[in-house]
Amino acid sequence: MTEVSVTKDAIPPGADDLVVLKNVNKHFGALHVLQDIDLTITRGEVVVVIGPSGSGKSTLCRAINRLETVESGDISIDGKPLPQEGKELARLRADVGMVFQSFNLFAHKTVLENVMLGQIKVRKTSKAEAETKARGLLDRVGVASQADKYPAQLSGGQQQRVAIARALAMDPKVMLFDEPTSALDPEMINEVLEVMQQLARDGMTMVVVTHEMGFARSAANRVVFMADGRIVEEAVPDQFFSNPRSDRAKDFLSKIL
């Protein structure tokens, strides 16, 4: 009998690191909006970013998909450094889904078309395949019956769920949410958070800027607290909320909880 030796490729260190920021810096004029940011997001991880207004949370999100350039430091997505521009950037950017506070749907396209467009234009999917996938995703976020309407005919919560479906249609490796419920009427916040909760349970890698502390407690693997352009503190939610270490975090929590 021959012995079969199974040699597995060694897993390179950090192979499960999906989004890596190393020593990232950015200014807006004199304002040092991102200061020495080091952040690694593992595949499947849900990271909630919180912090006072103006602390750099949105800029951080926008830097991760190069809606903002940075002056120094490295950002990579799934092992590939983010280039400054060009085709490779467009491809890598498509791996990063983004959902903004304002819903940003195409007003003159139907809900269904909104979810089909990127697939056809960027992923070069056939129309039929894009439609099937779009309908499936609209169903997944609970708005299948709205497919033929225009965004303005939907409630804010429905529009935001369409925005999530549209981002998911690109099969992103990571989803960024920048205060996705801040512009919603209170009664619509939960329907959006529930979709995000389900996405987290399904194993999506997520970076979520939010003031919804209930979501942070229940869905996050890690809370990142920012102030003045720096990551001041990182911890698992329980630890962060019950025992924040920094004065900045204590002060922030005392104001919002």
Q: How far is the CB of 58 from Mg ion (least distance, A)?
A: 3
CB of 55 to Mg ion, least distance (A): 8
**Stretch of 15-23, 57-65, 169-177, 180-188 contacting ligand ADP, by CB under 6 A:** 57-65
The site string for Mg ion over 53-82 (x = CB under 5 A, - otherwise) reads ----xx------------------------
Please list the alpha-helical segments (H only) found in 151-185.
Answer: 156-168
Task: List the structure tokens of 145.
Answer: 């019956």
Residue 257: what residue type? L
Structure tokens at 59: 């800029």
* Interface pattern 12-51 for ligand ADP (x via CB under 6 A): ----------------x--x-x-----------------x
Q: CB neighbours (10 Å) of residue 153?
A: 12
Number of residues that bind ligand ADP (CB under 6 A): 11
How far apart are the C-alpha atoms of 138 and 100, rounded to whole Å? 18
Q: Taking CB under 6 A as the rule, does residue 58 contact ligand ADP?
A: yes
Whole-number Å distance between alpha carbons of 3 and 207: 47
Task: Yes or no: say if 250 and 244 are a contact pair by the CB < 8 Å rule.
Answer: yes
CA distances for 144 relative to 40, 62, 130, 239, 257, angstroms: 35, 30, 15, 39, 36
The number of angstroms, rounded, from the C-alpha of 128 to the middle of its chain's C-alpha atoms is 28
From the CB of 149, what's the least distance to Mg ion, in Å? Answer: 29
Task: Look at residue 56 and give the partner it binds from ligand ADP, Mg ion, none, a contact being a CB closer than 5 to 8 Å depending on partner kind.
Answer: ligand ADP
Q: Is 174 in the site for ligand ADP (CB under 6 A)?
A: no
CB of 81 to ligand ADP, least distance (A): 22
- Residue for token pair 């997001």: 41
Residue 195 interacting partner from Mg ion, ligand ADP, none (CB closer than 5 to 8 Å by kind): none
Of residues 20, 39, 50, 55, which one binds ligand ADP by CB under 6 A? Answer: 55
Closest distance to ligand ADP from the beta carbon of 212 (Å): 15
